[in-house]
Amino acid sequence: MKKLLKTLVVAATVTFTPFIMASENGNILASAEAEMASSQKGYANEDILISAEEAIKLIGKDNVMFVSGDTEDVYKLGHIKGSVSMYAHHLHHSDITGTMHCAPLYRCIDDAEAYIGSKGIDNNTMIIAYDDFKGPNATGVYSFFTSYGHKNIKILNGGRAAIMKIDPAQIKYDAVKAEAKKAKRAAKPAKKKLKKAKKGKIELTDAEIAELKAIVAESKKTVKELKKKMKAMEKDLMVVKGEEHVTPRTYKIDKDNIDFTNIAGKEEVKHAMEDILKNGENSQYVIIDSRAMSEIIGERKMDHVARGGHVPGSKFIEWNKISDLKNKKSFKSAQELKAVYEKYGVDKDKTIYAYCMVGAGRGSEHITALKLLGYKNIKVFTGSWDVWGNDMSLPLKR
């Protein structure tokens, strides 16, 4: 019992191991940079991405805005300090019938200008798009901005998780958090015995009860002290909780700079579908459906779309075949991506469309991956199933 009390006392006066010292932090960053260089090797257009090691140096800098593509709720639970929320699923504007009035643009120009400006972004801002780590929501932000001609934008490979992995303050914070959990667990046996004694399942002497209560009390004291220490450390973290704080700016979109290269509307996709149904694998087009099978077969409908199903002639390549979930990177290696697309016959000499529920997200994950590989004729179907599923004149399959 004395040994257990000693453990709790040690937990209360936790000291940090050498790996969080400045010299060791350098080793962590160097190792992470080598890992990132290896993971991005082979991409034809790797400049689309920015590593956590590069991005962390830009947090808090003037004219740099980190933009989270995740939901508003996820943003509140943890976001890069100073960043803003632009949920990818809500970037496109359609009415209740699924009609996008300025298609293939995600939003009409005046609406886009007002929305972007409200997020503290102007035309000179460097944008770093990110999500948790998976990639789709970050690529949605990337597709949105590039379509309006914004050139100074990167995708944070590995997202928020990659920043947390190398943030020295986060490493220290996590060490204290682990100690708090350890201290809490140490009191569990004592709590269980006291509970059993109270229910009459076991008998304890007054001395045993006092000793067990002392253990529980010491545990509570230790956890309280460690939580206080964690609270004090939160101000130094690069990933924080809470609401968005932003000063609006003015953003202007030059009509001549709008880039329609990587976005498409339903008319284009319909034409591609007809060609595919006529010519099969000999068609000059490919349509990728990046959704889950439950959506493809029409079993699951989202956002009150009238019809479930998929665009006839589509190839089913779910987005998670592209994202490197195992290593918490936004994309798999170039070699792995090439293997996926070769398997499904997604050739460079064809015009490729990708869609999901809204386009900015799982569909843009594919188009960005293809862009990384050097594909040229690639387009996100903006509005995607929200548009197609609500248009009764368009065919579908289940």
The helix, strand and coil proportions of the chain, stated in percent and rounded to the nearest 5, come to 50, 10, 40
Report in angstroms the alpha-carbon separations of 22 from 29, 55, 169, 342, 396.
Answer: 11, 19, 11, 45, 59
Q: Which residues of 303-332 are buried (b: 16+ CB within 10 A; e: fewer)?
A: eebeebbbbebbbebbbebbbbeeebbbbb
- Rounded to an integer, what distance in angstroms lies between the CA atom of residue 380 and that of residue 345? 18
Give the mean model confidence (pLDDT) for residues 286-303: 92
Neighbours of 30 (CB within 10 A): 11
Domain count, the chain: 2
**Where residue 345 sits, what CATH number does that domain have?**
3.40.250.10
**300 located within any domain:** yes
Do 326 and 228 share a domain, yes or no? no
Q: What percent of the chain has pLDDT over 70?
A: 90
pLDDT at residue 124 in the model: 98
Whether pLDDT at 33 is above 60: no
CA distances from 224 to 180, 264, 307, 345 (A): 8, 56, 53, 58
Asked if the structure places residue 66 within a domain, the reply is no
Q: Is residue 274 part of a domain?
A: yes
**115: which residues sit within 8 A by CB, 6+ positions away?**
107
pLDDT at 381: 98
130 DSSP assignment: E
Q: How many CA atoms are closer than 13 Å to the CA of 373, on its beta-carbon side?
A: 26
Per-residue model confidence as pLDDT tens digits over 160-184:
999 999 999 999 999 999 999 999 9
Angle at 37 between CA 164 and CA 330, to 5 degrees: 55
In this prediction, residue 303 carries a pLDDT of 74
301 lies in the same domain as 357: yes
274 and 358 inside one domain: yes
306 and 201 within one domain:
no
* Tokens 């997202």 found at: 159
Same domain, 209 and 304: no
Calpha distance 19→16 (Å, rounded): 8
Strands 153-156 and 285-289: unpaired
For the cut 60, the answer to whether the pLDDT of residue 47 exceeds it is: yes
Residues 267 and 382 in one domain: yes
Quote the CA–CA distance of 107 and 110 in Å, as a whole number: 8
> Where does the pLDDT of residue 40 fall: very low under 50, low under 70, confident under 90, or very high at 90 and above?
low
Do 210 and 305 fall within a single domain? no
Same domain (yes/no): 200, 267:
no
Residue 14 above 80 pLDDT? no
Residue 397 lies in a domain: no
Measured distance CA(223)–CA(363) in Å, rounded: 45
Domain end, chosen from 198, 220, 237, is at: 237
DSSP strands (E only) in 55-115: 64-68, 79-80, 84-85
- Is residue 121 assigned to a domain? no
**What's at 187, amino acid-wise?**
A
pLDDT at 2 over 90: no
- Beta-carbon contacts of 71 under 8 Å, excluding residues fewer than 6 positions away, are 87, 89
Q: Is residue 311 part of a domain?
A: yes
219 and 321 within one domain: no
- Considering only 30-44, 59-73, 300-314, 342-356, which range has the smallest mean pLDDT? 30-44
Query: Tokens at residue 318, please?
Result: 């779910």
Pair 230, 332 in one domain: no
Pick from 378, 353, 305, 351: nearest CA to 48: 378
What is the residue range of 322's domain? 263-388
With tokens 């398997």, the residue in question is 343
Q: Which residues pair with 353 in a beta bridge?
A: 287, 379
CA distance linking residue 56 with residue 270, whole number of Å: 43
Predicted pLDDT at 41 = 62
Per annotation, catalytic residue among 116, 126, 161, 356: 356
Specify whether 368 is located in the same domain as 313.
yes
Residue 364 inside a domain? The answer is yes
Do 230 and 271 lie in one domain? The reply is no
Q: pLDDT (tens digit, 9 = 90+) per residue, 95-124?
A: 888 899 999 999 999 999 999 999 999 999
> Is residue 138 domain-resident?
no
356 is a catalytic site residue: yes
Residue 4 banded pLDDT, cuts 50, 70, 90: very low
In sequence order, which residues have a C-beta less than 8 Å from that of residue 328 and are 6 or more positions away? Answer: 133, 158, 161, 162
Strand order in the sheet with 315-316: 263-264, 378-381, 351-355, 285-289, 315-316
